Amino acid sequence: MLEKLSYAQRQRLAYIDFCLLFKGEIYRNDLIKRFEVGLSAGSRDFNLYKEVAPQNLVYDHQLKRYFQTDSFEPVFEHDPKRTLVKLANDISDGFDAIGDVQFPVEAPTSLNVPDIFVIARLVQAMLKQQAVMIRYTSLSSGESRREVVPHTIVDNGQRWHVRGYDRKTESFRDFVLTRISEAEITDNAGVEEGSESDHEWHRKIPLQLVTHPHNVTHSKAIEMDYGMTDGVLTIDVRAAMAGYLLRRWNVDCTEDASLNGPEYQLWLRNRTSLMNTSNLAIAPGYKVT
């Protein structure tokens, strides 16, 4: 039924669904004010929602509002990660009640903010499959000009990178966005410089994460944190991103789980899966054997 509705109708029904899920209640006037519809149109939306999910809401005539029932099941998918980001940053996509009320969700403070104009040039180049001349400052060699064919902007959990083909080293590399001071679109990219040739990006490797055998007393807590099944969290990650993930979550990558400290709550059980993978210098304790 939802697929047959107009975009505007789905938007209003999703708003009702969101309010019931996160606020536990909704006034008819909430919908009318948010979408600037008439009383009759608002009533039709609530009737339509009740037709789709009659078990989800009950109307209290004395309080003149709808309440979530004990048998409530969301009609729309509200992705946990996206919803938390939206709530924390007060960003609405029109399908929710964000902005109507101050939700008690906070996001961590960001220590670095990339230049929006640099981002814009990079995105343009990606869409047009063109190269970009950038002025880049690295920790090892300082400032230099490099010609890069970018294909993806990546959040590694701590900062933003752009991944692309570096014509200087003739390899695919990651460049920290905040270290790019200039970006100018140049010529078209060659066939070997496109994302299709970035094998590290397209290759997926399985990582089996388990509770650290020496640093954790109550392993059940860690299993709950990561939604482990039978004590194991198995995830497939891009080879180019494996090092970032392992560092971000302080995953002990030693062969015998020998890293000590409360920050190491996870251990990589199948470290052999990292063979022939670059960018692992940042993976905690990983050494090529």
**CATH classification at residue 172:** 2.30.30
The verdict on 207 and 193 lying in the same domain is no
The verdict on 7 and 84 lying in the same domain is yes
- Kindly give, in sequence order, each residue whose CB lies less than 8 Å from that of residue 208, ignoring residues fewer than 6 positions away: 232, 233, 234, 268, 269, 270, 273
- Per DSSP, the three-state class of 67 is strand
pLDDT of residue 112: 85
pLDDT of residue 177: 95
Measure the CA–CA gap between 130 and 192, rounded to whole angstroms.
13
DSSP state of 213: T
Cβ-defined contacts of 230-238 (< 8 Å, 24+): 232/208, 232/269, 233/208, 233/209, 234/206, 234/207, 234/208, 234/209, 235/206, 235/207, 235/209, 236/204, 236/205, 236/206, 236/207, 237/204, 237/205, 237/207, 238/200, 238/201, 238/202, 238/203, 238/204
The verdict on 181 and 226 lying in the same domain is no
pLDDT of residue 279: 84
pLDDT of residue 89: 87
Phi, psi of 79 (to 5 degrees): -60, 125
The helix/strand count (H/E) of the chain reads as 8, 12
Model confidence over 111-132: pLDDT tens digits?
A: 888 999 999 999 999 999 999 9
Residue 145 belongs to a domain? yes
The verdict on 207 and 190 lying in the same domain is no
Number of structural domains the chain divides into: 3
The verdict on 229 and 161 lying in the same domain is no
- Per DSSP, the three-state class of 183 is strand
Q: Which residue, of 199, 222, 252, is where some domain finishes?
A: 199
pLDDT of residue 158: 85
The verdict on 223 and 247 lying in the same domain is yes
The verdict on 166 and 221 lying in the same domain is no
Residue 178 belongs to a domain? yes
pLDDT of residue 274: 94
Q: Which residue, of 146, 171, 199, is where some domain finishes?
A: 199
pLDDT means per 10 residues, the chain with 289 residues, are 88 96 95 94 94 96 96 94 89 89 82 91 94 94 94 91 96 96 93 94 97 96 96 96 96 96 97 90 88
Residue 13 belongs to a domain? yes
The verdict on 185 and 228 lying in the same domain is no
The verdict on 259 and 210 lying in the same domain is yes
Beta sheet of 232-238, edge-to-edge order: 232-238, 204-211, 266-268, 251-252
**pTM for this model (two decimals):** 0.82
Query: Which structural domain, as residue segments, surrounds residue 55?
Result: 2-89
DSSP state of 246: H
Residue with tokens 């990558």: 253
Burial of 160 by CB count in 10 Å (0-12 exposed, 13-18 middle, 19+ buried)?
Answer: middle
The verdict on 154 and 212 lying in the same domain is no
Q: Which residue, of 178, 199, 220, is where some domain finishes?
A: 199
Please report, for residues 185, 201, 223, the alpha-carbon distance to residue 251 in angstroms, rounded to integers and kept in the order given.
39, 21, 14
pLDDT of residue 289: 66
